[in-house]
Every structure is written in structure tokens, then in C-alpha cells.
């Protein structure tokens, strides 16, 4: 059972930080209140692999998505801001944390658009739990960095998962990540940067910009826990159970989770919609305006 605690503090005059206890974890999440009249259900953004969590993944986009609704950005186990017992991660554990945040926030049913084709929680929520979200907007399929299950209050989804388990490309990539992490933190950051962004984007921002990206995802203990989960997770059996309206977004230059996975994810979810953006794995940064428009338009549709 989740036990709510009091608000921890305020990050800015608008953004508040709350904590909810789930098992051995004290899960922190940010709440971005609507900047104007509330016109849509709350949006919960699930981060991908990496101990930087929601701050790295969503702090740049959340304010723009909170123009007419509340936006929630949780930090699940393995991130720096959430404290737990350090045990190996499971999708059920992370799904329970997502559910707890939704319940503690008290916003009612939420839309759920995770990023980076590595967020399993949203898919678990629909496949194993009672609904707590209305719709989901999903950026390409891939290994999860967090689980996704909830008891029952989501409107839509935006998330990603890996419809094909055991793919040799993904298995080899995550194995390389894991082994480099043990020996060379800088090399780890560089391989993450290479597979995370399109070559055109990296060339556009230049050497100074690339060097700033390299340290963004250091091989911390939490990041390694995420990668270990990436190597194990298989949620194919859950995909046919997803009933919430779903938008799958593929990134055509994704070198981490190739766009074929997004197309397969779309095919595996009955009635889902599909869109593509010309970007690398971290397309939410490369194509921030287009990504925001897709998610906003989908979640605001009836």
C-alpha cells in the first residue's frame, strides 16, 4: 500500500515537489499546475532509462504541456531523487509507483505519454490493472526504464514498450552499455549520446553542444539497475489487453530502439494511431515542438 507524505518543497513558484511512499521506496514527483484555465485531464510523464529521471527527461517540455492542465512527472526507483532499498527492479514494482503517484496527486484519470520507447509502466497499467488513464501517446517501443501499471484511472497513453522480446539488436546494445559502464564512464556517456541522437542533430549543435550532452546520463548504480531491467523485460503478452486510446510515435532515425519496433507496437495494439518524427531516440528534444503538438492534439481529442 502507498502511504502519502506531506509536500517536500517548492522547486519554483509554480512547480511543487511531493513524495509518496510505496513499499521500500520514497517516490518523489513534480507537479506543474495548469498555467491557464484547465481544459484537459492531468498528464503524467514517465521517464526513461537513467538516474537523472524526470528532471533530465521532462523539465524542458513539462511547462509547455501544462498550459491548460496539470502535469505530473514522477521519479521512479533507480533515479537520484527517489530513495529505496537498491534491490533489482521489476516492472510490477515500478507500475505500483506510477499508480501511487496518480492516487496521491488526486487529479483523477490522467493521460499518460511516456518518452523514449523505454517506458514499460504505461503498458502494464493497461494490461494488468484497472484503468487510471484515459489515453496514451507512445514514443516508439523499447526496453523500459520504469514499469507501468495502475489500478484504474487513466484516460490516454503516450508510451513505449518493446513488442518483440529478445531482439538481438537490443540485447547487444544494452549489453555493450552495461559493460562499458563498468570500465569507462566517459565512453559510456559518448555511446549513449551517439545512439540517443540523430547524426544531423549532433552535427547541428556542434562539438561544444555534444560535449555538454555526454555527461547527461552517467553510469550510476540507478542507471545500471534500469539497464538490467531493460535486458529482462518482456511485455508482449500485455499489448493485446490495452484498451485505452493509444498514439504510438516512432522516431525514424532512432539508433537505440529502431523505428521498426514502433511500427510493430502500433500493429500489436488494436485501434492505435501512429505517427513518425524525423529524429533520433531522444526525439522529444530534437523535435520538441512537433512532439508536444502530437501529444497535445491527441490527448485533447475526444
If phi over 0 gives left and psi between -120 and 50 gives alpha, with beta otherwise, what is residue 23? Answer: left
pLDDT of residue 244: 83
pLDDT of residue 118: 42
Q: For 18-63, how does the pLDDT look when each residue is reduced to its tens digit (9 = 90+)?
A: 999 999 999 999 999 999 898 889 999 999 899 999 999 999 999 9
Q: Comparing C-alpha atoms, which of 153, 61, 37 is closest to residue 136?
A: 153
| Residue 118 CA from chain centroid, whole number | 6
pLDDT of residue 127: 44
Cut 0.85: pTM above it: no
How many DSSP H helices and E strands does the chain contain?
Answer: 11, 11
Instruction: Give DSSP secondary structure letters for 170-199.
Output: HHHHHHHHHHHHTT-HHHHHHHHHHHHS-H
Using CA atoms, how far residue 130 sits from 58, 153, 241, 243, in Å, is 26, 7, 11, 11
User: Over its length of 302 residues, how does the chain's per-residue pLDDT go in tens digits?
Assistant: 444 443 444 444 489 999 999 999 999 999 999 998 988 899 999 998 999 999 999 999 999 999 999 999 999 999 999 999 999 999 889 989 999 999 999 998 888 864 333 444 455 555 444 445 555 555 544 433 333 222 223 344 444 444 444 489 999 999 999 999 999 999 999 999 999 999 999 999 999 999 999 999 999 999 999 999 999 888 788 888 888 888 899 999 999 999 998 898 889 889 999 999 999 999 999 999 999 999 988 888 75
Architecture of domain 2-165+233-300: 3-Layer(aba) Sandwich (3.40)
> In 23-141, which ranges are E strands?
25-32, 42-44, 71-75, 110-112, 132-139
Q: For 230-239, how does the pLDDT look when each residue is reduced to its tens digit (9 = 90+)?
A: 998 887 888 8
Q: Distance (Å, rounded) from C-alpha 229 to C-alpha 122?
A: 16
Instruction: Give DSSP secondary structure letters for 271-297.
Output: T-EEEEES--TTHHHHTHHHHHHHHHH
Q: Distance (Å, rounded) from C-alpha 194 to C-alpha 191?
A: 5
Amino acid at each position: 500500500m502507498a502511504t502519502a507524505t506531506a509536500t517536500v518543497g517548492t522547486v519554483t513558484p509554480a512547480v511543487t515537489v511531493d513524495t509518496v511512499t510505496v513499499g521500500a521506496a520514497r517516490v518523489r514527483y513534480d507537479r506543474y499546475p495548469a498555467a491557464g484555465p484547465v481544459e484537459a485531464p492531468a498528464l503524467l510523464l514517465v521517464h526513461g532509462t537513467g538516474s537523472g529521471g524526470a528532471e533530465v527527461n521532462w523539465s524542458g517540455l513539462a511547462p509547455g504541456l501544462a498550459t491548460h492542465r496539470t502535469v505530473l512527472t514522477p521519479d521512479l526507483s533507480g533515479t537520484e531523487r527517489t530513495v529505496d532499498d537498491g534491490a533489482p527492479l521489476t516492472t510490477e514494482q515500478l507500475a505500483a509507483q506510477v499508480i501511487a503517484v496518480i492516487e496521491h496527486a488526486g487529479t483523477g484519470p490522467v493521460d499518460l505519454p511516456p518518452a523514449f520507447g523505454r517506458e514499460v509502466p504505461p503498458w502494464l497499467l493497461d494490461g494488468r490493472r484497472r484503468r487510471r488513464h484515459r489515453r496514451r501517446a507512445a514514443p516508439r517501443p523499447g526496453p523500459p526504464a520504469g514499469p507501468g501499471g495502475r489500478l484504474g484511472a487513466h484516460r490516454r497513453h503516450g508510451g513505449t514498450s518493446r513488442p518483440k522480446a529478445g531482439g538481438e539488436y537490443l540485447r547487444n546494445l544494452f549489453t555493450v552499455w552495461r559493460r562499458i559502464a563498468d570500465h569507462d564512464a566517459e565512453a559510456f556517456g559518448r555511446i549513449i549520446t551517439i545512439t540517443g541522437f540523430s547524426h544531423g542533430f549532433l552535427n547541428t549543435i556542434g562539438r561544444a553542444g555534444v560535449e555538454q550532452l555526454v555527461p547527461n546520463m552517467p553510469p550510476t548504480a540507478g542507471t545500471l539497475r534500469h539497464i538490467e531491467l531493460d535486458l529482462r523485460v518482456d511485455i508482449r503478452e500485455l499489448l493485446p489487453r490495452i484498451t485505452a486510446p493509444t498514439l504510438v510515435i516512432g522516431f525514424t532515425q532512432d539508433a537505440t530502439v529502431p523505428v521498426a519496433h514502433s511500427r510493430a507496437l502500433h500493429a500489436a495494439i488494436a485501434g492505435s494511431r501512429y505517427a513518425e518524427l524525423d529524429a533520433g531516440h531522444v526525439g522529444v528534444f530534437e523535435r520538441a515542438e512537433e512532439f508536444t503538438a502530437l501529444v497535445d492534439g491527441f490527448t485533447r481529442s475526444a
